[in-house]
Each structure stands twice: as structure tokens, then as C-alpha cells.
């Protein structure tokens, strides 16, 4: 049974609804997880998603900042809207979705960006980011014969050397500092999560999902980072059939600085 999940930091779902509709029309994922929706729940554009064929909609949002949403063409059941670091900033949503004979627990995350200064003693945003990732140790990749887990989202950390355009130049830049990448990988391993995007891609191959708005010509300079991730429990690895980074979406009209990533599974 084919099953597809897309993840995308949309940077305001209402502002960019036309390109969301384009993604849904051209690629039709079974489930779409959005981050940085920037809309309170009462103003979420449900009608537009229903018109596009996505009748099952859950969201966790606030005015102007953060926010996550999960929409689907098949039924989804709310599991949790978890509060991290004792802050109500709408960065997590988990649902259950049935795919084949498996019940999949799907986590949708928007990890704090962390500000500009990579020093938790003087930058409370960076401190918050580190604390948030530490708390993610409490999100395991639970699995058994009939269930599995998937974690997606804008995790705002590029963990490997070739997840950024220049490892040396970005070692002191938030999203690729050693304290972030080490705690991130430790958290992933502690939870038993598999980084699906690197399963069949050599460690020396560059992988990006984000290109800064600050670049005059993002495509020519190609100074990207892999900030968006798709992880799963180990029992889904045999069913994983690959993924696509939709780099072309960075050039769509009024784009996000992130692009969609779509993962494909073939589940019994």
C-alpha cells in the first residue's frame, strides 16, 4: 500500500496558500505536515484544504508566530499537542494515522531557531533551543508488530558536515554549532529514530532543504542547509521507498525559504 508524507515549513500558511495548493495538486501526499503556520486556530484556512481534498485537519497555532498543522486525505486522530520547556508556543502536534495494517504515530515538530548568537548564557533563544532538543529525548520511536512511529518537521539543526554548504564556515553559526549537532544526534539515537534522508545518501553528498532569503540569487550561490527532517522507527525502514526534496518550490511565487520533502512508503 503506497503511503506518502510531506513536511514543509511554509512560513505563514495563509500568505502562501496558493503554493500549498500547488503542492497538493501536483504531488498529492496522503499527509502534509506544515510548520511555522503563523495563524491562530480560529483563522486556519480549513476550507481551502477541504476544497483540495484534505478533509482531515488538525492544527496547533497562535497569532503571528510558530504553529504546526497536519492535514490528510485519510482519517487522523489527535494524540497530543505537547508543551515543551513550559512555554505555550505551539511547536508540536502528534496524530495517529492508519496505513496498511499499521497504526502510525506521526509527530510534527517545529524546533526553535535559536536566534543569532550561539551562546546560551547571553542568548535566551539559544538556551530555549537547547532545552527543547533535550526534552525531545522524551519522544521515543515507539514500535511493535502493528504500530510504528514517524517524526517530521523543521528541526532547525543541520547535523552532518554535508548538511550545510560549508562546514568550516558554519561551525559557529546557529543550526550547525557542535553543541547543537551533538545534542541533536544524541537525542535521535536515544529515541531510536532512523534518519531516513541519509539512509541511501552518502555522507559526503550535500543535502539541503533551506535557502536563505538573504541570498541575492539563492540558486546560483546554493548556500543551503538541511534543516527539515524525516525520521522513523526502525520497523518502517524495510517499507521506506525513498524521498524527494522539491528544490524547485524555492523558486515558486512568494516562496518559503524551506522546500517540501516527501517520503514514500509501501506498507502491507
Q: Is 195 annotated as a binding residue?
A: no
Q: What is the pLDDT of residues 29-85, one digit of tens each?
A: 999 999 999 999 999 999 999 999 999 999 999 999 999 999 999 999 999 999 999
The grid cell for 86 is: 513550559
Strand 261-266 vs strand 2-9: parallel, antiparallel, or unpaired?
Answer: antiparallel
Give whole-number Cα distances, 32 to 46, 235, 245, in Å.
13, 22, 14
Closest alpha carbon to 161 in 207, 199, 119: 207
Q: Is 258 annotated as a binding residue?
A: yes
Structural element, H or E, at residue 47: helix 46-51
Q: Is 9 annotated as a binding residue?
A: yes
Q: What pLDDT sits at residue 12? A: 98
Local confidence pLDDT in tens for the 268 residues of the chain: 899 999 999 999 999 999 999 999 999 999 999 999 999 999 999 999 999 999 999 999 999 999 999 999 999 999 999 999 999 999 999 999 999 999 999 999 999 999 999 999 999 999 999 999 999 999 999 999 999 999 999 999 999 999 999 999 999 999 999 999 999 999 999 999 999 999 989 999 999 999 999 988 999 999 999 999 999 999 999 999 999 999 999 999 999 999 999 999 999 8
Domain 3-265 sits in CATH at: 3.60.10.10
Active-site residues: which are they? 110, 154, 258
State pTM to two decimals.
0.98
Is the distance from CB of 30 to CB of 3 less than 8 angstroms? yes
Q: What pLDDT sits at residue 216? A: 87
The neighbouring-strand residues paired with 153 are 109, 229
Q: Is 235 exposed, middle or buried (0-12, 13-18, 19+ CB in 10 A)?
A: middle
* CB half-sphere exposure, 215, CA atoms < 13 A: 14
Q: Is 137 annotated as a binding residue?
A: no
Closest alpha carbon to 55 in 35, 33, 40, 70: 70
Long-range contacts of 15-23 (CB under 8 A, 24+ apart): 15/254, 16/254, 16/255, 16/256, 17/45, 17/48, 18/253, 18/254, 19/249, 19/252, 19/253, 19/254, 19/255, 19/256, 20/48, 21/48, 21/52, 22/252, 23/246, 23/249, 23/260
Amino acid at each position: 500500500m503506497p503511503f506518502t508524507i510531506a513536511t514543509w515549513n511554509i512560513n505563514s500558511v495563509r500568505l502562501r496558500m496558493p503554493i500549498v495548493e500547488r503542492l497538493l495538486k501536483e504531488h498529492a501526499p496522503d499527509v502534509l505536515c506544515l510548520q511555522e503556520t503563523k495563524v491562530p486556530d480560529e483563522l486556519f484556512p480549513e476550507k481551502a484544504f477541504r476544497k483540495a481534498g484534505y478533509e482531515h485537519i488538525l492544527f496547533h497555532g497562535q497569532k503571528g508566530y510558530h504553529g504546526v498543522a497536519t492535514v490528510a486525505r485519510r482519517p487522523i486522530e489527535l494524540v497530543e499537542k505537547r508543551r515543551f520547556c513550559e512555554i505555550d508556543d505551539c511547536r508540536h502536534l502528534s496524530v495517529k494515522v492508519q496505513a496498511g495494517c499499521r497504526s502510525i504515530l506521526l509527530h510534527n515538530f517545529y524546533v526553535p531557531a535559536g536566534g543569532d548568537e550561539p551562546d546560551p548564557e547571553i542568548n535566551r533563544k539559544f538556551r530555549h533551543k537547547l532545552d527543547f532538543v533535550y526534552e525531545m529525548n522524551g519522544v521515543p520511536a515507539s514500535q511493535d508488530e502493528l504500530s510504528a512511529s514517524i517524526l517530521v518537521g523543521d528541526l532547525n539543526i543541520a547535523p552532518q558536515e554535508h548538511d550545510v554548504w560549508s562546514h568550516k564556515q558554519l561551525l559557529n553559526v546557529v543550526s550547525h554549532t557542535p553543541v547543537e549537532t551533538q545534542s541533536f544526534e544524541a537525542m535521535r539515537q536515544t529515541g531510536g529514530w532512523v534518519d531516513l534522508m541519509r539512509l541511501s545518501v552518502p555522507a559526503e553528498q550535500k543535502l539541503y532543504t533551506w535557502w536563505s532569503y538573504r541570498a541575492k540569487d539563492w540558486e546560483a550561490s546554493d548556500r543551503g542547509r538541511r534543516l527539515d527532517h524525516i525520521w522513523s522507527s526502525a520497523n518502517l525502514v524495510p517499507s521506506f521507498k525513498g524521498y524527494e526534496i522539491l528544490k524547485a518550490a524555492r523558486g515558486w511565487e512568494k516562496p518559503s525559504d524551506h522546500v517540501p520533502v516527501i517520503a514514500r512508503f509501501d506498507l502491507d
